[in-house]
Chain A
Amino acid sequence: MSLLEGRRTHLLTAAAVIVFAAFLAVADRTFDAFTLRVLNLCGIYVVLALSLNLVNGFTGLFSLGHAGFMAVGAYTCALLTLTPEQKELNFFLEPIVPWLAHVTVPFPVALLAGGAAAAVLGFLIAAPALRLRDDYLAIATLGFAEIIRVVLTNAQPVTNGALGLKGLPPFAGTGVVWVCAAAAVLFMVLLVRSAYGRALKAVRDDEIAAAAMGVDVFRAKVVSFTVSSFMAGVGGALLGHVITTIDPKMFTFMLTFNILLVVVLGGIGSITGSVIASFAVTILMEALRFLDGPLNLGFLQTEGRPGLRMVVFSVLLMAVVLFRQRGLMGSREFSWSMLARAGLLPRPGRGGAAGGPHGAA
């Protein structure tokens, strides 16, 4: 790539980031609460999808334990941000353990603590689980996630059990969510392009050869899993503070499945694919809500069928598996030159005016 071309790419990326930031600023002021929440959910899904893509796509570990790490992040963060009065209101069946009753820390600290708690747990689970591979690893991580959920359900004095926690302060506004999403994208882009990301991909492509080349395979896997757990924990914490209520039932396998859906649709091993699919899936999830209600197709009338919209995603997933196994982007990344080749952007010379929402060019 010529120097001029490199500068143009950077300018276009910077422009896209600014345009999207401006869009967010406007959206934050003008959108109604529902639309804004969907937009912020997109941002959270970006964090979650990237974290799952780090292990599944870039390290080649088939992990299905994401909901568990999200739950740990969400609970840790929530317990640290709830005010003492709210805690007393929540824990009416059995009082909260005394050492947690009066702890309240600022949201950024709680958010990082949520991520850290999930990371510690991820690290502990990684050591035994990562000795397994493929489907066995998937089953083991799935099991761990269920264990976490069961523990949360039964640790009444700490988590309030099946009642969940309500009245979480709505700290996860547009700014916080999208700063986290941007940080996740930036970190992933830099990581994947670095020597460390290269080693992860080498482990994914051929573990035996990677080890023979001096890569500490087990360590690389553990690090990848731990970092991914951190991101999942932060994502879970954000989710809790957007919805403002959490309970163990939120963090079932269905949640992991939704994130996996985003990753597979976007392309396993593609950052931009994950970002695009996060938007697509989150928005469709809400836009297709009418399918769950009573339908009137003229010749056919149905009562409400909750869950019907999920059928659309199942069909979508089947279509991807049949016709486009590698997902929307495969393992490729979006780049400005890709747009230029498609004729959507003027050839180098003058800066183009196009501003996509994704700065990961």
Chain B
Amino acid sequence: MALLETERVTMRFGGLTAVSDLAIRIEQDEIVGLIGPNGAGKTTAFNVITGMNRPSEGRVRFAGEDVTGLARHQISRRGVARTFQNIRLFRELTVLENVLVGCHAAIAPGVFSAPLHLPGYRRREGEARELAASLLGEVGLEGNAADLAVSLPYGKQRRLEIVRALATRPRLLLLDEPAAGMNPQESLELMHLIRRIREKFSLTILLIEHHMQVVMGVCQRIYVLEYGETIAQGDPAAIQNDPKVIEAYLGAQ
């Protein structure tokens, strides 16, 4: 059984078809890439999978369950976490608090049980704080725990987004251009980080990325989108030599 499966997913915004007939299948423990020129519909595909957009047609199945049309937080609680292309941190919360929001479902605070520090809440909050601290250590942000998220340098903000997503204890992690704006050295480090967290948390990963070095370096399989259509799929070597992909990226000869 595939962990994630999209069945003929089509997303239309008025007259624009952002994604059409998307059929992605990701097995447990795979790292899969989603590439394509700007405006190809990659982020829309993420939005449909995570419940931000309800698809115009088609179904999304996660771990065998039809999750089409479920609310965003419900999909998150089933084990799908994501990062955002344009960083979306909680600006006025500290780095530690950002990660703790990721633990929200696990803490399950009530509007009265939390302020009153009832025992169950206390225990769960304590556990979440331990988890958050260890996750921050994992990516070298332990020294920034008390800083405001907005005050972090760009590269650290990217890493914080990943840690925050990890705090939801996902099975599937969707990374939306994690290497955007990074220099080659930083991209390389990011590649190592992705491999390491995948290993450590036994994650399945779907990755949108423009840095071909990163995509080809970590992904086992790749889907290529253009104008919402899936024009190719296969392993990195096959994709690199696919004439349709070359045409999409470089134009026809």
Contact = CB atoms under 8 A, between A and B. Distances in A.
Given A187-B115, A190-B116, A208 B88 contact: yes
B109 interface: yes
Interface in B114-140: 114-117, 121, 125, 128
A213 B76 contact: yes
B111 A196 contact: yes
Contacts of A208: 52, 72, 84, 88
Given A199-B101, A215-B101, 17 more contacts: A187-B115, A195-B121, A199-B104, A201-B90, A202-B104, A205-B93, A208-B88, A209-B84, A210-B90, A211-B52, A212-B82, A213-B76, A213-B101, A213-B164, A213-B168, A214-B76, A216-B73
B148 to A, nearest CB: 11
Interface string A138-171: 0000000000000000000000000000000000
A227 B112 CA distance: 10
B89 A206 contact: yes
B73 A211 contact: yes
B208 interface: no
Contacts of B50: 212
Chain A residues touching B, majority SS: helix
Interface string A189-231: 0110011111101101110111111111100000100010000
Nearest to A190: B115
Nearest to B98: A202
Interface residues of B, number: 37
Interface of B: 50, 52, 71-73, 76-77, 81-82, 84, 88-93, 97, 100-102, 104-105, 107, 109-111, 114-117, 121, 125, 128, 164-165, 167-168
A256 to B, nearest CB: 24
Contacts of B84: 208-209, 212
Contacts of A212: 50, 52, 72, 76, 81-82, 84, 165
A201 B82 CA distance: 20
Nearest to A187: B115
14 contacts: A191-B111, A194-B115, A196-B115, A198-B101, A199-B101, A202-B90, A206-B91, A208-B72, A210-B101, A212-B52, A212-B84, A214-B104, A215-B73, A215-B101
Contacts of A216: 71, 73
B154 to A, nearest CB: 17
B92 A201 contact: yes
A205 B115 contact: no
Given A196-B115, A206-B88, A214-B168, A201 B93 contact: yes
A202 B90 CA distance: 6
B72 A211 contact: yes
A195 B90 contact: no
A331 interface: yes
Q: Which 7 A-B pairs have the closest CB atoms?
A: A194-B114, A190-B115, A211-B72, A214-B105, A195-B109, A209-B88, A205-B90
Contacts of B121: 194-195
B73 A194 contact: no
A191 B115 contact: yes
B151 to A, nearest CB: 14
A339 to B, nearest CB: 21
B89 A209 contact: yes
Contacts of B72: 208, 211-212, 217
